Amino acid sequence: MNRIIVTILLTFLGATAFAQDSTTAVLQKLTDSKQFDAVIGQYAPAPERLSAAALYYVGYAYFMKQEDDSCLKFMDLSIAKDANDHRPHFIKGSTLNYMQQFDQAIKCFKAAIALKPDTAEYYSGLGDAYYNLHLYESALENYKTAREKNSPGERPFLMVPQVYFSLRQEAKALEALHYNTTKLPRGSEGYTKSWFNIGQIESLSGNYDKAETAFLAVIQSDSSDYHAYAKLIQVYYHNKTYEKAKVYRAGLYDAHKQGRLKENMEDMFCFDQFKWKDKSIQAFERYEEGSKRIYNKQIFYVLDSIGNVDFTIQTEYSPISVEMGGPKYILCGSKGGTHFNYGIGFNDDVKYDDLKNTVINILEKRYKTAADNK
């Protein structure tokens, strides 16, 4: 449960209706310095002695510690003493959202909005509750309202296209993403994500020139977005503009050497995707290089109609072939526990169109295997 997306209201919402007694002042300082354990340890044991303001701060400490039941307890105590402050209603609603009690959360966000209708986060929280209840039109209304308030943050901008996707209104989602690129700060995470999603949509729609523009915008915004490098390479391979792909391929290899690539890009990257009959083919390239042992370099994953890997065709580095003066890579395949050797060799200077056509010929069973083993 991530509380970072909830902005600390104490800094940005100005003066409150609470009397700033000495206890409240101390609690505010502890909260501002994120000493939540101290807040709980010193003030939670005797809630009956605390003002509504102090109860709020203790509840907020529990909120940040992700102790939901205790947070709700203190927010309720605060509201019982003074129901006219917007903050306890908001934090209670946010906690109920995390607890997936969305119907109850809606009531809290509406109460917060009634007390302070100019706060963007309250509309975003209400939008989240509606979205999780699949009440997409109501969610959309509140996210759009949040966008128009002061200091809306990125969330409502990102959620508007997400709602349109959920409504299967792709054209409006694309329009909303372009709107984001005009409103969010250049270089911000939301700006970068919006361009990336534009690239994804345009790629899937076959608009590769527009996809290229979008992924270039991602990289200009964040040069370490290596997923955009791979997506851009795929665009260039689809367009057969292989020279353009070289600089981004080199960038991925350099990032790999420096240990910057994580998770699904740590070992390899997807450089092409294409269809063959009812199957999708995803072509990956591994970063591994060397001359001592066998390894796969390019791997063509053949997916069935539901997206599962049926089998692979791969170029395998062959130390024995190199030692005997033969090609560097041998085209092989794998299905289940069976390994196939097609007896076809390639070197690093192979043209991709030739390699791809050979893979397709294997799929069409125009080549027989030279050797099989399990």
Q: Which amino acid is at 189?
A: E
Q: Are 272 and 238 in contact (CB under 8 A)?
A: yes
Residues paired with residue 373 on neighbouring β-strands, in sequence order: 339
Structure tokens at 301: 């994953």
Q: Are 312 and 299 in contact (CB under 8 A)?
A: yes
Give residue-wise pLDDT tens across range 293-349: 999 999 999 998 888 999 999 999 999 999 999 999 999 999 988 999 998 999 999
Q: Are 89 and 111 in contact (CB under 8 A)?
A: yes
Give residue-wise pLDDT tens across range 216-267: 999 999 999 999 999 999 999 999 999 999 999 999 999 999 999 999 999 9
Q: Using a pLDDT cut of 90, give the percent of the chain over it.
A: 87
DSSP secondary-structure letter at 185? P
pTM for the model stands at 0.88
Residues paired with residue 339 on neighbouring β-strands, in sequence order: 334, 373
Per-position DSSP letters for 268-295, written without gaps between them: EEEEEEEEETTEEEEEEEE----SSS-E
Higher local confidence (pLDDT), 370 or 219: 219
Chain centroid offset of residue 57 CA: 32
Cβ neighbours of residue 171 closer than 8 Å, sequence gap 6 or more: none
pLDDT value for 3: 55
Give residue-wise pLDDT tens across range 170-198: 999 999 999 999 999 999 999 999 999 99
Long-range contacts of 145-153 (CB under 8 A, 24+ apart): 146/120, 146/121, 147/120, 147/183, 149/118, 149/119, 149/120, 149/123, 150/118, 150/120, 151/12, 151/120, 152/120, 152/121, 152/124, 153/7, 153/120, 153/121, 153/124
Strand order in the sheet with 295-303: 268-276, 279-286, 295-303, 309-317, 329-335, 338-346, 371-373
Structure tokens at 276: 């063959």
Q: Are 93 and 113 in contact (CB under 8 A)?
A: no
Domains of the chain, start order: 1-116 (1.25.40.10), 270-373 (no CATH)
SS3 of the chain: helix, strand, coil, percent, to 5: 55, 15, 30
